[in-house]
Each structure stands twice: as C-alpha cells, then as structure tokens.
Amino acid sequence: MQPIIKTFPTTKFIGINSQFSYSDYRIGELWGKFMPRRNEIRNALGTDLFNIQINPENFDFNPQTEFVKWAVVPVSDFDFLPEGMQSLIVEEGLYAVFNHIGDASKARETFGYIFGVWLPNSEYELDNRPHFEILGEKYKNNAPDSEEEIWIPIKKRI
C-alpha cells in the first residue's frame, strides 16, 4: 500500500468537535451529533465529510493521551455559522494519502502499516498538523467495501 504524496490547500470547515482519547474513543457519539445537523451548513463545498484529528504537540499515541476530533464539511466562507457549531481552518501542507478499503475494524491494520511500516521506511517524518479522513461517495459506514482517504501530515526528513 503506497501513498500518493499531495499538497492539501488551505481549507475552511464548519462542524463540531470533541476531545477524547483512544482509550475513550467516542467517535460515534461525535458523528451522531453532527450528521442530523449537517444540512444546516448553507455554504458547504461538495458532499464529502471530513473526520479531522488535531493532536497535541509531541503526540505519543498513548491510549490515554487526549486529542481533538472534528466532524466537519468544507465551506466557502464563515458568513453563516449554525448555532452550536464551530469553524476550523486547516492550513496548506504536505500529506501522504492512503486509500483505506474495509470497515472500521480494518482501520487498525491500515494505521499500523502507515505508522509502523511505511513512515519509518520513507523519506518523511510525521508533521504536527491535522490528520484527517475524507469520507467521500465511496464511503459506506462500516461496510466491507467502504472506501475512504486517510491523509497523514508529513515533512521531509532532515
């Protein structure tokens, strides 16, 4: 599984966020709050959903270390912000983009490969910027043929 190296442009998002850890992973709760309200966002660009993770500085992947997870859609502007939602800007940056196929239970294998095999053997290192998945038209929540793009922030090794 080889990634495509891409530059993600600066993008504006609107959605909701929550703070939790891998040991207290409440992603279903976050998306359960967002999905019924996503159509309140008037200036959405396309239909893709973004699952964005913002890690603290020097994130160690410890199951108890907390991070912020966002359920969002890209928008053209912040002129209208639905009540209870927040805005987020992801700045331009270099990413390794992996195509994940399978249900959520297979994600652990994919991320294990990315961080345990591909990244250490590549010419890149992890950059401290948002990680995200793009849930596009081929995404089918927990279906074995579901597809999503996993975007990992990278920078060239020095």
Q: State the total domains in the chain.
A: 1
Instruction: Mention every residue, 6+ apart, whose C-beta is less than 8 A from residue 43.
Output: 14, 75, 76, 77, 79, 80
What's the sign of the alpha-carbon dihedral 99, 38, 27, 64?
positive
Residue 136 is part of a domain; what is its CATH number?
3.20.80.10
14 contacts 72 by C-beta, under 8 angstroms = yes
Q: What is the pLDDT of residues 47-63, one digit of tens each?
A: 999 999 999 988 877 88
Report the alpha-carbon distance of residue 49 to residue 96 in Å, rounded.
Answer: 19
pLDDT at 101: 87
Over residues 94-153, the pLDDT tens digits come to: 999 999 888 777 788 888 899 999 999 999 999 999 999 998 788 787 777 878 899 999
Structure tokens at 59: 């994130």
Q: Model pTM?
A: 0.91
Domain that holds residue 111: 4-156
Residues facing 4 on adjacent strands: 97
